[in-house]
Amino acid sequence: MISPDIQRQVISWRRDFHQHPELGFLEYRTAARVAAELTRLRGCTVKVGSEVMRPAMVLDSPAPDVHAQARREALANGADAYWVERFADGLTGVVAEWTFARPGPVVAFRFDLDALPIDEPSDAAHAPYREGFSAKYSGRMHACGHDAHTAMGLGLATALAQSSDDWCGTVRLIFQPAEEGCRGAKSMVAAGVVDDVDWLICSHLGVATKRLGQVACGTTGMLATSKFAARFSGRAAHAAVEPELGRNALLAASTAALQLHALPRHGAGESRVNAGQLISGTATNVIASHAVLRFEVRGETTDINRYMAEAAQRVVRSAAAMYDVSVEIEVLAEALGVRCDPEMIALVRQAAMATGGIDEIFDTLPDTGSDDATLLMDAVQARGGRATYLLVGTSMIAGHHRDQFDLDEASMSLGIDLFLNILRRTTHLVSG
Amino acid sequence: MISPDIQRQVISWRRDFHQHPELGFLEYRTAARVAAELTRLRGCTVKVGSEVMRPAMVLDSPAPDVHAQARREALANGADAYWVERFADGLTGVVAEWTFARPGPVVAFRFDLDALPIDEPSDAAHAPYREGFSAKYSGRMHACGHDAHTAMGLGLATALAQSSDDWCGTVRLIFQPAEEGCRGAKSMVAAGVVDDVDWLICSHLGVATKRLGQVACGTTGMLATSKFAARFSGRAAHAAVEPELGRNALLAASTAALQLHALPRHGAGESRVNAGQLISGTATNVIASHAVLRFEVRGETTDINRYMAEAAQRVVRSAAAMYDVSVEIEVLAEALGVRCDPEMIALVRQAAMATGGIDEIFDTLPDTGSDDATLLMDAVQARGGRATYLLVGTSMIAGHHRDQFDLDEASMSLGIDLFLNILRRTTHLVSG
Amino acid sequence: MISPDIQRQVISWRRDFHQHPELGFLEYRTAARVAAELTRLRGCTVKVGSEVMRPAMVLDSPAPDVHAQARREALANGADAYWVERFADGLTGVVAEWTFARPGPVVAFRFDLDALPIDEPSDAAHAPYREGFSAKYSGRMHACGHDAHTAMGLGLATALAQSSDDWCGTVRLIFQPAEEGCRGAKSMVAAGVVDDVDWLICSHLGVATKRLGQVACGTTGMLATSKFAARFSGRAAHAAVEPELGRNALLAASTAALQLHALPRHGAGESRVNAGQLISGTATNVIASHAVLRFEVRGETTDINRYMAEAAQRVVRSAAAMYDVSVEIEVLAEALGVRCDPEMIALVRQAAMATGGIDEIFDTLPDTGSDDATLLMDAVQARGGRATYLLVGTSMIAGHHRDQFDLDEASMSLGIDLFLNILRRTTHLVSG
Amino acid sequence: MISPDIQRQVISWRRDFHQHPELGFLEYRTAARVAAELTRLRGCTVKVGSEVMRPAMVLDSPAPDVHAQARREALANGADAYWVERFADGLTGVVAEWTFARPGPVVAFRFDLDALPIDEPSDAAHAPYREGFSAKYSGRMHACGHDAHTAMGLGLATALAQSSDDWCGTVRLIFQPAEEGCRGAKSMVAAGVVDDVDWLICSHLGVATKRLGQVACGTTGMLATSKFAARFSGRAAHAAVEPELGRNALLAASTAALQLHALPRHGAGESRVNAGQLISGTATNVIASHAVLRFEVRGETTDINRYMAEAAQRVVRSAAAMYDVSVEIEVLAEALGVRCDPEMIALVRQAAMATGGIDEIFDTLPDTGSDDATLLMDAVQARGGRATYLLVGTSMIAGHHRDQFDLDEASMSLGIDLFLNILRRTTHLVSG
């Protein structure tokens, strides 16, 4: 069990992060604090920015002026300029690593850093407001618990550093930006942060484990997803005088939106498609020269999602061809179906049974969301490693992504205890 | 003025043709009689079949069994087997030609042979029925006056042959199949029947000249048109079990139909589009593997029609690509915009002024239909020749293509007189 | 175990039915033979035609001339004219019933009569052909085993009649027409044939039980489905001259087809939609006045199917309104999701364990098809009765609905034995 | 001929207006100066705001904050606060009127006030820039000559006031806001400003009269048009979790956009349709609850436009119904086909022949644009009055609505001379 000191610190970190919520790829202050805290720890190597993220694989990062504004805000709110500089252009990932004296496996944990574009309520019924640590920025909120995830990562790091003689092999803590929208993991996978991982533990507070003491050793049912922006470029023309000169981007995008929803579905399992945003045109008498269509597909499995994604892109390109307009399709986000290894589930079960305070253990529970931790898991599994996505129970006032969301801070320490117990067993399995 | 003998014969021919209406490319009996009559005439060279039509350019001819049945019917109704054989496979065009001793220009007249798929009424108010020469076949009728046009061609031929010393140069009479649907002219142009023509006279009874005595020396406003059949081939699949294996021809064709109608129009003039027939699929639980879509476009000018035709084909191909199905597009019909040469209009006016019985002469009148005589006209004009599409007035009980349609048989002789006067002037212009 | 006599007779009946396959609602000869055989049995009351089917609720019956032809064919192939007459207009359902002296529950079994529009192969590898009982009619085949189902019904009836002292309560055998396409059950439910049923046993040979000796006591996963024909009526017009007068049924139907496929899906489970047939229009230059669109929806549950069916009808009506055309929507078929009662599954398991030759018993197995037996089951369950849809194993050369389909005739006797054992237990439960 | 003083003043006014371009319904400074100048003139009655515009019939006026900002700007640029107040809420129309001692007809002239959202070039080749009177505001420009039209109205007023003894009857000068987009005339018609008009003269500099000295007494070919905004309201839902709860406004709007373009066209003449702007949705994983679609239709005649407008609204409403979303359709703009009375054309021709400097007179010239002056004309003609839309020639560097547009200021005086000559003749016709 981690020390009361660490327990207090974890709560303190969490509340600091909660007060300073930052959106995906803009976590300058959060990541700077993470890096600064890790740097203080014994034996810890810290890598950030382009060391842990391949810039070309970053998905759907905000515009430069948004980054510039976010950096100014981070600095104004106490972020260390040294670190902010190293996260240039939104490469806000941080990886901490210990290589211990005794040989052993490579075990990695993944934590996510970003907040949501939600207004936090100023309401005495809402604990963070009542207790004075609600978001200082309007329009943003940690309504998915990533503040707690990040604090747990720092707590785990602290505990590891304080007991480094106990461990063997390599332990790596991956702090990922932009989990919301499934954007941050891809560039970290591309940078190789899990290339040598034997055991990967991804986790989430809450979700299907809705009270303190419950744990699910794995997750099922997370939908694989791909999100896209299609940018159509045609040619404007006066709609009454020379309509034949126009190449109608609005109709190309409208056709694509409609036809995306008409995609034949896969018989092997559930799939989804949604054209969520369409912006096109200027005036009623001008044939619209440009359109942007943002859409997503999902699938019960990675294969079904891939089928939908390929069909969707064919539809978009054909709609453009139909109207003689060009189209660029940008990948905005990517997550895979979840597949937790049975060996890992069994190992987590043993660790959970050994963890005080855990009183109900599920092998797996279903989660209908999407998380790009699945990209990390898939990369590990593709090389023969094992991975799971476990759930640590917490009571919640309201579900994730709602503005009344809050969690039981006691779940953080319990989660760290579980992580340490998992670590003991992965070590044991290999070296013991 | 043609002789009473020829006048009587023209009426007799017309009534014979009226009793034996034949659809496009199936005019075995009509063409056989035309060829037989022409062969009897002094100085007349008769060419038929592949001598006057290029088989590869025949548009949308009926299926072989339909031809076989039509030939049997023709023979059963008195057609000469010698000629029927020479029209094999529906090459039912006939061209008669005189080359006179004195040099002179090449002057051509075009007549059309085919009838319509309309039931002729058994009604005493309908003159052909009352006078005993209504159609012997159900479901077919000469409701556009081509029976009279063909008879006028034979009358003109007879008059020419009886006065061959009067003429110079070359006179050619072109009897074209399948004017309905704009299908027959293309293969005759391709066979070269107008390659050397200096003056081409196309004509129609009625239309905008609605009483005996009126003549329009030219026509305006005929729409250029292209008609197509798109045949989509996809892949069937069980719609509930394995929908992802299907390639949906029904949706490709439906999409094409809808998107054809959404084509941007041309600012320079009127255009039309119609998806007139869609046939696809077998059962509700099978993804349809095949579809046929028949459609047409039109334009106020040949250019506008070409713009529409090209855009339409792009739409059809893109709709197929969208559903990953293949598509073959067959051209079913083609006609161009009409452009009557001013010199020709002036010449016809002079001829009409010299023709007894003509009391009202228009330079041009508008006609909103389409006629593939325009292909012949365009071919003549492209080589520097002159062409017109003139109208010979006749009273009509009802408009063209209606089952009560009938015409004033006196208009036939008057038309022949006009043709002879035109011929005198074309000759005169060159030789006189 | 049924007697060798009955076993032989069952095979003989099956082969007779196999030789005379009849499509849905046209089972004049099959139903006549069923009725005739049942009438001979001791204690058996036979009801047919409008006694067991409500005419107004018959779905998608063939046209009158098809019925007339089918009746002539049945008579020519030995059907009893007395019965054929009583099945007038395709009310080819037959219900046999025994009310035994001792009181007891109402137990019903359902069998289906119809064949498929499939050509039976003339191939020595195909047992029915090799052994001389393949279909006498081309284009039709019992490729789903309903010939065997019907024969099993007659075998069960014979066994019951021969041992009538053993039984109590009421036993009813329901011979349903037109199971293919899910059309026949609705009118039988409406006629009340299951209104008083306590225990309903529906069954199928093969499907997920692919060898002799296997039995599944219930089925899961059958998709609820609704099939429709939408008939659009607009107004024809010349597409070039007066397009504004047209009301375009082809575009209304095309729009409906496309939009049906774009229906938002249900998050609670799988759904399907297919526009399987679209027929519209006559000529390229006429705006199509009529169109027929045949389509289906399916759902993992009855509720999901209902959601899809309602949305589909809204889409079709809106597409018609968009083009100012009228539309009539006919229900062609209906089946519900399957829900087998646990008590019934348990009872069948006991019966199966007591049946010689059954060596593998599943509580349930999945079936991805649809069967309108579910309408009968739902009606029974809605009144508090119990129902199941069980599977009796048989080896098969090829899957159902394929032309090489054949089954192991031994499965028929084994199935009858199982039915009798079920009957013993239902009786026992109540009276014992 | 107007005096050199008035000529100079007209140029001065025009340049002042040119420097202060204001968009439709925001012409606070322009209208205030017009009103102030008119008020100074002898015998002139000035009405403004709700006296000359019915507020409920104002089409597509900007949002309140845009008005507030425009008023502040007008005041900051020297507008008289008294008048700005009277134009509250953008009722920026001004009507000047003289009723002369002698009886006579009611003659009205219409001038338009507004500018375009175009950046004026800072380029020595552009005369207004070179001569120091280019727009003081960025993003706006008088690129259609309304600055000159308004100045001509003031010049005509000044000339009238200086010679009031010459005139009889009533002369009314209508200064209309928001001609661009065809929005301002409707509310002025509704307020009755032309209810009693016998002769209405609408006019434009340039267009088809491309040099000084040309005049067209009337115009043909202006397209009738209606512009609309359709606002769709559905229901958001998570696209993956509960798609069945969504009511998809994005697809409703996309469907409407596509189907608008597929509207059957009118056989009697040209028509146009354009969906020019579509804005919908927020995120890829949310079913879009709102959408706005802006579109327009046009027709060669008022009837054809009405046909298109009615069909378009049916399509939009059906698309909404198809997706179970509600829709509000707002009329943004309206103009009719142009019909200039022959009597008026003849009268203008006589006036033009009497006007020094006019050397080429056309009865009519074609104009392919739209102008809501046609609403005023139609209202006059509906009551038996006469109207025309005449063109006064001017050389132009570039066409209307281009940023290099400029005109020959001499055309203004010449136009005023023509107006006075027209006025003499209308008076003469009645009183003379």
Looking at residue D29, the DSSP 8-state letter turns out to be: H
Distance from C-alpha of C291 to C-alpha of C297, rounded to nearest angstrom: 20
Q: Map residue C92 onto helix, strand or coil.
A: coil
What is the number of alpha carbons within 13 Å of residue C82 lying toward its C-beta? 5
Q: Is the pLDDT of residue C432 over 60?
A: no
Instruction: Name beta bridge partners: B273.
Output: B297
Nearest residue to A374 (alpha-carbon basis) of A362, A382, A364: A382
Of D258, D261, D270, which has the smallest distance from its Cβ to B270's Cβ? D270
pLDDT at C399: 83
What is the number of alpha carbons within 13 Å of residue A121 lying toward its C-beta? 14
pLDDT at C403: 87
Distance from CA of D256 to the nearest CA of A (A): 9
Looking at residue B53, the DSSP 8-state letter turns out to be: S
The residue among C270, C273, C313, C323 with the most chain D CBs within 10 A of its CB, best to mutate, is C323
pLDDT at A428: 63
Q: Map residue A64 onto helix, strand or coil.
A: helix
- The amino acid that residue C271 corresponds to is S
What is the reported pTM? 0.90
Query: The tokens of C149 are what?
Result: 């189902």
Taking residues C107-135, report their average pLDDT: 94
Query: The tokens of D336 are what?
Result: 């009719």
Nearest residue to B288 (alpha-carbon basis) of B298, B278, B296, B297: B278
Which helix (DSSP H) or strand (DSSP E) does residue B348 occupy? helix B342-353
Nearest residue to A174 (alpha-carbon basis) of A81, A302, A38, A56: A38
Q: Beta-carbon neighbour count of residue B76 at 10 Å?
A: 9
pLDDT digit of tens for each residue in chain D (432 aa)?
Answer: 899 999 999 999 999 999 999 999 999 999 999 999 999 999 999 999 999 999 999 999 999 999 999 999 999 999 999 999 999 889 999 999 999 989 999 999 999 999 999 899 999 999 999 999 999 999 999 999 999 999 999 999 999 999 888 899 999 999 999 999 999 999 999 999 999 999 999 999 999 999 999 999 999 989 999 999 999 999 998 888 889 999 999 999 999 999 999 999 998 888 999 999 999 998 898 999 999 999 999 999 999 999 999 999 999 999 999 999 999 999 999 999 999 999 999 999 999 999 999 999 999 999 888 999 999 999 999 999 999 999 999 998 888 888 889 999 999 999 999 999 999 998 765 433
Q: Is the pLDDT of residue C59 over 80?
A: yes
Contact B70, B26 (CB under 8 A): yes
Taking residues C229-236, report their average pLDDT: 96
Distance from C-alpha of D148 to C-alpha of D155, rounded to nearest angstrom: 10
Instruction: Name beta bridge partners: D95.
Output: D47, D174
Distance from C-alpha of A53 to C-alpha of B301, rounded to nearest angstrom: 60
Give chain A's largest Cα–Cα span: 82
**Tens of pLDDT, residues B109-164:** 999 999 999 899 999 999 999 999 999 999 999 999 999 999 999 999 999 999 88
- The amino acid that residue D273 corresponds to is V
For tokens 């109709």, name the residue.
A251
Distance from CA of A120 to the nearest CA of D (A): 20
Residues of chain C in contact with residue B331, where contact means CB-CB under 8 angstroms, are none
Q: What is the DSSP annotation of C242-281? A: -GGG-B-HHHHHHHHHHHHHTPPPPTTS-EEEEEEEEEEE
Closest residue on chain D to C317 (Cα): D322
Which helix (DSSP H) or strand (DSSP E) does residue D175 occupy? strand D168-176
Contact A341, A364 (CB under 8 A): no
pLDDT at B428: 63
What torsion, rounded to 10 degrees, do the Cα atoms D69, D71, D73, D76 define? -140
Q: CA angle, C190 as apex, C184 and C193 as ends, to 5°?
A: 85
Nearest residue to D26 (alpha-carbon basis) of D1, D2, D60: D60
Looking at residue A402, the DSSP 8-state letter turns out to be: S
Q: What is the DSSP annotation of C350-385? A: HHHHTSTT--EEEEEEE--S--THHHHHHHHHHTT-
Q: Beta-carbon neighbour count of residue C326 at 10 Å?
A: 15
Instruction: Name beta bridge partners: D333.
Output: D227
Contact A25, A90 (CB under 8 A): yes
Beta carbons within 8 Å of C190's beta carbon, 6+ residues apart: C53, C54, C56, C57
Contact A338, A220 (CB under 8 A): yes
pLDDT digit of tens for each residue in chain A (432 aa)?
Answer: 899 999 999 999 999 999 999 999 999 999 999 999 999 999 999 999 999 999 999 999 999 999 999 999 999 999 999 999 999 889 999 999 999 999 999 999 999 999 999 899 999 999 999 999 999 999 999 999 999 999 999 999 999 999 888 899 999 999 999 999 999 999 999 999 999 999 999 999 999 999 999 999 999 989 999 999 999 999 998 888 889 999 999 999 999 999 999 999 998 888 999 999 999 998 898 999 999 999 999 999 999 999 999 999 999 999 999 999 999 999 999 999 999 999 999 999 999 999 999 999 999 999 888 999 999 999 999 999 999 999 999 998 888 888 889 999 999 999 999 999 999 998 765 433
Distance between first and last Cα of chain D: 22
Dihedral sign of CA atoms B229, B230, B235, B241 in order: negative
Contact B282 C280 (CB under 8 A): no
pLDDT at A427: 74
pLDDT at A394: 96
Q: Is the pLDDT of residue C431 over 60?
A: no
**Tens of pLDDT, residues B113-128:** 999 998 999 999 999 9
Distance from C-alpha of B8 to C-alpha of B132, rounded to nearest angstrom: 16
Neighbours of chain A (3+ CB pairs under 8 A): B, C, D
User: What are D's interface residues with B at a Cβ cutoff of 8 A?
Assistant: 258-259, 261-265, 269-270, 272
Contact D322 C314 (CB under 8 A): yes
**Tens of pLDDT, residues C238-294:** 888 889 999 999 999 999 999 999 999 998 888 999 999 999 998 898 999 999 999
Round the CA-based radius of gyration of chain A to a whole number and report it. Answer: 23
For tokens 């028949």, name the residue.
B294
pLDDT at A430: 42
Distance from C-alpha of D216 to C-alpha of C74, rounded to nearest angstrom: 85
Pairing type for strands C271-281 and B271-281 reads antiparallel
Residues of chain D in contact with residue A254, where contact means CB-CB under 8 angstroms, are 253-255, 257-258, 275, 278
pLDDT at C1: 85
Query: The tokens of B271 are what?
Result: 């255009």
What are the Cα distances from residue B2, in Å, to B149, B169, B428? Answer: 16, 21, 20
Residues of chain A in contact with residue B318, where contact means CB-CB under 8 angstroms, are 318-319, 321-322
- The amino acid that residue B349 corresponds to is R
Distance from CA of B178 to the nearest CA of D (A): 26
pLDDT at A241: 83
Backbone angles phi, psi at B155, to 5 degrees: -65, -45
E-strand stretches of A168-242: 168-176, 199-205, 214-220, 224-233
What are the Cα distances from residue D260, in Å, to C60, C370, D247, D313? Answer: 36, 39, 21, 9
Query: The tokens of C296 are what?
Result: 């289906």
- Pairs of CB atoms within 8 A across A/C: 21
Nearest residue to B105 (alpha-carbon basis) of B172, B195, B197, B201: B197
User: What are B's interface residues with D at a Cβ cutoff of 8 A?
Assistant: 258-259, 261-265, 269-270, 272
Interhelix angle C28-39/C4-19, rounded to 10 degrees, is: 160
Neighbours of chain D (3+ CB pairs under 8 A): A, B, C
Q: Is the pLDDT of residue B345 over 50?
A: yes
